[in-house]
Amino acid sequence: MHAACQDPDTQRYTTVPSPYERRHAEEFIPRVADQWAEGVHLTWAIREGDVLAGTVGPYRIDAGAGELGYWISP
């Protein structure tokens, strides 16, 4: 996660923190599990082999009108 979010354009055009530090990735992983359990956001990993290439999922679904969010690593 940390390596995939180092791209300047990913940081510029998405909501990932900038600069994206290792602690952000370490906080993100357990938060995804909590959000699944709460039914708030559903995040899937997009992989190319063993490498994380991005994420995709419906977000803010608890509000009754979610949105599709994604990012793809270059």
- Give pLDDT tens digits along the chain (74 positions): 999 999 999 999 998 999 999 999 999 999 999 998 998 889 999 999 999 999 999 988 877 778 898 999 88
Taking CA atoms, 30 is separated from 11, 33, 47, 48, 73, in Å, by 21, 5, 19, 22, 21
Longest alpha-carbon distance in the chain: 34
8 Å CB contact between 45 and 26: no
Threshold 0.85, pTM exceeds:
no
Angle among Cα 20, 46, 69 to the nearest 5 degrees reads 70
What's the pLDDT score for residue 62? 76
